[in-house]
Chain A
């Protein structure tokens, strides 16, 4: 579904990500973890087509991303960036309706079908009752949910989320992640919280612009790897209530 073939991206002379080889399968929720500045966002922006690889390739459904028209790409992939703000007095509904952009044209104006898709997207993120609210009056979590609804209104097959749980309270974090896992899309999600990454089908670990490990989270996120990549000590604990495993962290100096 998503395939990166030795993709690199340079800003001037500095390589931000190098030789990323990654395959995200259809329908899977793939978590991308790594310290700040390790290149997670850059990988997402390469897949979204916001950036073009300096070398290597990004393929979506086998098609080179650079060969897709922007419109076709946007029908396939939706991207929720880390921070996208506006000073315009748009309502929640206005913002979500923007998601229909790649499906509309002068000959195919916004219609009742689009209205239903927008209403459905609003409902999925629990913002239906706030559709008439102005953007400026929303909390960080509500804004994040509006962006997700906008992405859903795009009806993508691939959903790219850059740290979608930032700014969210714990309930919202869990419900957003559950929603993403339930969606019938292929999701590539950059995450900070390694315990959340444990819930993904597979994870990729980024370090200094490279993908250093990739596979099922339980196999990949070993205490040893976490120590190497994140410079913290990690211990797996087991919840006595249900046997669920989770990671506890401590500074390695301690």
Chain B
């Protein structure tokens, strides 16, 4: 991009038309997610089901079909959207706070820690019910992230934020450790059926998603995105580092604590519902930057929308790519995400050169 005399036209209006376009894409993706699946269901049936459930109309429908649409597909699609939005925004926030293009909840070990926490609750039965699963995941995620940051700082200078490479290496170590812990817990205490279930869940899996999960995922995701949006300007101020943010009036420690808490909350909630889904938090923010630039007041909503659409579509692909079988959604995001990761690495090298 030759940045010569072409001063870009200012788009302070936040691009309302783009926002509407994004929302339309999200609704289209949700509709697509509800329509596509192993059982072919006529669009008319889908439409009538939604009408029956939402507006109390009374179209006669076969209960099985109505059940598939309302309880299985729609819940999956909504949770996928919430999850995609939440993870993408988490990636944006971590990349800004750590000033690292490779940061995301998966790579930094938050997802692995959350998995360990959730598995402890699931297998050992510490507490019970959906909430305690998320609480376990949250505790595990916070613990993992604290360890990763601690390790990176210990390995670095000791003052300020660690170097870019160190934090990623620490994240890898943390991920390995917590995945090993998870395997250990499973091997020690789970029966064969639990092992199968947990293994499938760990790869990122949407099959078990029902309405209670929607009622957990959507508010957490929405709240998370709103809190991050409220910090958009503070995140911008991190452009030249935390010290520079301090001198521009940002309460850096408070901002870091709040936002890392929010990111961990989002990640833990999503992990407790769907298992660890990788690469969404990494690749989507870069795609969004490519479209709307680096300013967070535009980047955060754009990432949320793109992440939501992406994960709904990934879920559809995971259901139809192998006939008669549902792949873990994590497999699909990794198939897209790993090459994306490679592209970011290569571009990063070019920028440093």
Contacts and interface: CB of A to CB of B under 8 A. Distances in A.
The size class of the interface chain B forms with chain A is 20 to 34
Nearest to B100: A87
A43 B127 CA distance: 53
Interface string B81-103: 00000000000000000010100
Interface stretch (B3-11, B192-200, B334-342): B3-11
B240 A85 contact: yes
B103 to A, nearest CB: 12
Contact of A90 (B7, B248, B294, B351): B294
A132 B3 contact: yes
Q: Say whether chain A's binding surface is mostly helix, strand, loop, or mixed.
A: mixed
B248 A104 contact: no
B285 to A, nearest CB: 12
B233 A101 contact: yes
B153 interface: no
Interface string A90-105: 1101110011011010
Contact of B348 (A71, A87, A93, A132): A87
Interface string A78-93: 1101001111111101
Contact of A50 (B246, B289, B293): B246
Most chain A CB inside 10 Å of its own CB: which residue of B99, B244, B250: B244
B91 to A, nearest CB: 14
A131 B4 CA distance: 10
A86 B237 CA distance: 11
B159 A11 contact: yes
A102 B3 contact: no
Contacts of B346: none
Given A84-B240, A87-B101, A89-B294, A70 B6 contact: no
A154 interface: yes
A89 B294 CA distance: 7
B246 A132 contact: no
Contact of B289 (A73, A89, A94, A132): A89
Contact of A89 (B159, B248, B250, B293): B293
Contacts of B7: 93, 131-132
Contacts of B159: 11
Contact of B3 (A74, A133, A147, A154): A133
A81 B240 CA distance: 10
Contacts of A20: none
Contacts, number: 90
A223 interface: no
Contact of B249 (A45, A71, A88, A110): A71
A134 interface: yes
A194 interface: no
B249 A101 contact: yes
A132 B8 CA distance: 6
Contacts of B8: 91, 132
B42 interface: no
Interface string A58-83: 00000000000111111101110100
A133 B3 CA distance: 5
A192 to B, nearest CB: 21
A136 interface: yes
Most chain B CB inside 10 Å of its own CB: which residue of A71, A101, A136: A101
Contacts of B150: none
Contacts of B233: 101, 104
A241 interface: no
A136 B1 CA distance: 11
A72 B101 CA distance: 31
A85 B240 CA distance: 6
Given A74-B249, A106-B230, A137-B3, A101 B289 contact: no
A198 interface: no
Contacts of A102: 248-249
29 contacts: A11-B159, A48-B247, A49-B247, A50-B243, A70-B246, A70-B250, A74-B247, A81-B244, A84-B240, A84-B241, A84-B244, A86-B99, A86-B239, A87-B99, A87-B351, A88-B239, A88-B294, A89-B289, A89-B293, A89-B294, A91-B8, A94-B294, A98-B237, A98-B240, A101-B237, A129-B5, A132-B7, A132-B8, A134-B3
Given A79-B247, A84-B241, 17 more contacts: A11-B159, A48-B247, A50-B243, A70-B249, A70-B251, A72-B249, A74-B249, A79-B244, A81-B243, A89-B289, A98-B239, A101-B236, A104-B233, A132-B5, A132-B8, A133-B3, A137-B3
